Structure 1
């Protein structure tokens, strides 16, 4: 393919049209035009500018830059592959353009330029391409594109998705205790990844027992690469139906995570949550599940006046307020440990974090710590272990 032919093909890019607006490809077009017109000086200037732009972005080759942009760009072809759809004309166009990008990446522009400007001392970059059409297509099918290809954890705030580049996701080795509870959560999530119908999940119980950590740790499990976690604040529940619609039909699986969920008596978002979980006309997509944590089993705060008021159907009102939790198909209790379980957890955690101490001394210290910090939970155990590290440093 000649320089003129490559320049013409690049100008006619359709499936990946937005890439033409980037400074890198605008400069590449200038380089192609200069080489086609045998304008050595103009081509050399464009070449030098392109080298600068690539290095400024941290790239050592045009191929590496293209690979990142093709994955990050939420193109029509990427969306089609992610959703498992079919559009023969779009597929043909996109594949032709991807082959063009491969040719551009593999072209030794320094050698081409040397034919016109043999005395020009210009920097070089590698003429290589890190992707094929099939590997990039497989990437779209597995990881999607755009935000969902770059990150696996997100915040839903003010009706927008914000990527979390470095989420706080504990690894499996850090999750000690409550194995039976976590196994239920993992099994439900694995079933969703396998395309099966699953339940929404409510993890309820004492504070510090690891409910939130259980959900966040799902992202660190092997084989769960197609899982995305979106944390939704209670204030954002009203916008959740709109978010769910945007996720429908994708090959990726999404957990909408609501941490520390609880409602007051007259909370307006209560009815919204009921509709989202079950009962609305709009069906929840099979690739979306809602996982919530709460310190309250029934989610809705009750007062004695609820039971002693003058309402005729007070019992029905109470039942209505406590029915929300029942709309979660899987309800998993996280209760405080007994003393034996707590001490066993402390020992395991001490081994994990490299604490060397006499077993009886460790247990005695843990009991004293727990008496001053009520709650036999993983959080209390971790705080105790951290205190031992601090004392050792002192």
Structure 2
């Protein structure tokens, strides 16, 4: 069997310790057979324990050895995997180098770890071959990603040839991408001292669909048109969703992400205090094959805050061309984002700003950097009642309509007024009541 150290592209795995341990054991087995092998027992048990811990961490079931190998392959970002992500098969000599590495991995898939049960007189590997997890939940992945890896491990194990193995991997990279950016939909930013900005997956996000937002057909259609143009390579604009609180602005962004994730759309959530890291983040994603939305929720600035200047600079760009795979989407309750004072419009402001009109224009200019501005207004009474009616039907709330409307009207008077959020909170309240009430 070829040695894992002979791989060219697939090297230096982030979670590769178990791989080193088991390939060492395989090499020893092929060298000595089942003789004089007892001194490696500690390495064997450590690797088995590592596979079980991985299963607990990521929710894997089935053949844990195959799951682990698949986990390594789908997460490894290299010249071949990143070239294939979203686009599929590529031309060039790199295919021969990838085939060389996949030949080594196919041998690892084909190797039956149960030979170690005979060597070390255990039944551990038999358990690893058809492992039943005590808890299907994952601390690191959502169920969709976990199932995708487990299914892919079965596909790769069934490949008859190295060429088929490689074809399956290329198809996976085309369908889902590679690494954290491929497997996950949404991300946040962490600033690490000495390292700069780090993009971190958000493993638990609400699976909201645009259809879940009752009404707002025109705003949703504008958002769809702009996003669809973006993910399909046409010209698109930065987008600002503004209007009353609780009207579905943030939910619409989540719905857009879920709608176009399969076409390569990803979202990175950014807060005001992280604007200084934006150039670092953009440098990390500008050459990838995904389409990225930098998402700023509930964006607004007080008069003393200057972060909006960082944002303007990023949107406008400097000498470097703005990447085609990045847009900025923001939601705000303020139409103009930056708080204005009545004194801003005075000819000479109290703080002796002799060029107050320039100051006003600087504050207002940020909103004009968003080529698409979509208004989400609070519903009127009739629209609010329709939202309540639709949500009650979706959630199985059975109540005479006149009673439902009466209770909804009482609820909104003391819980935030006529908004979609208030309607959802009212339905949640009804669902949470004891059945006998």
Q: Which residue of 1 aligns with 2:54?
A: 57
Q: Which residue of 2 aligns with 1:336?
A: 378
Give TM-score, length-normalised by structure 1. Answer: 0.88
2: distance between equivalents of 1:201 and 1:315? 26
In structure 2, do the counterparts of structure 1 residues 111 and 346 end up closer, same or farther at CA, with 3 Å as the change threshold?
same
CA drift of 1:327 comes to 1.0
1: distance between equivalents of 2:186 and 2:426? 30
Instruction: Determine whether 1:97 maps to 2:101.
Output: yes
Give TM-score, length-normalised by structure 2. Answer: 0.80
2: distance between equivalents of 1:326 and 1:222? 26
- Render the CA deviation track for 1:316-365: whole Å, top value 9, x for unaligned: 33223112111101000011111111111111111111111111222222
CA drift of 1:88 comes to 4.2
Q: Is the 8 A contact 2:291 2:325 kept in 1?
A: yes
CA drift of 1:120 comes to 4.6
Q: Which residue of 2 aligns with 1:3?
A: none
Instruction: Determine whether 1:74 maps to 2:77.
Output: yes
Q: Is the 8 A contact 2:292 2:327 kept in 1?
A: yes
Alignment of 1:1-394 (within 5 A): 6-7=1-2, 9-19=3-13, 21-42=16-37, 45=41, 50-58=47-55, 60-82=63-85, 88-110=92-114, 120=121, 122=123, 123-124=125-126, 126=129, 130-131=155-156, 132-158=165-191, 159-221=197-259, 224-278=262-316, 280-308=318-346, 309=349, 310-393=352-435, 394=437
In structure 2, do the counterparts of structure 1 residues 376 and 21 end up closer, same or farther at CA, with 3 Å as the change threshold?
closer
2: distance between equivalents of 1:95 and 1:275? 44
1: distance between equivalents of 2:37 and 2:45? 10
CA drift of 1:121 comes to 5.4
- Render the CA deviation track for 1:76-96: whole Å, top value 9, x for unaligned: 322233386978454322221
CA drift of 1:225 comes to 4.8
Q: Which runs of 5+ in 2 are unaligned?
A: 131-152, 157-164, 192-196
In structure 2, do the counterparts of structure 1 residues 35 and 52 end up closer, same or farther at CA, with 3 Å as the change threshold?
farther
Aligned-partner SS, 2:339: coil
The CA RMSD over aligned residues, in Å, is: 2.8
CA drift of 1:267 comes to 2.3
CA drift of 1:169 comes to 3.8
1: distance between equivalents of 2:425 and 2:357? 43
2: distance between equivalents of 1:168 and 1:207? 19
In structure 2, do the counterparts of structure 1 residues 203 and 172 end up closer, same or farther at CA, with 3 Å as the change threshold?
closer
Q: Which runs of 5+ in 1 are unaligned?
A: 1-5
1: distance between equivalents of 2:303 and 2:331? 19
2: distance between equivalents of 1:196 and 1:110? 53
2: distance between equivalents of 1:79 and 1:24? 22
1: distance between equivalents of 2:64 and 2:168? 19
CA drift of 1:303 comes to 0.8
2: distance between equivalents of 1:313 and 1:174? 48
2: distance between equivalents of 1:40 and 1:179? 72
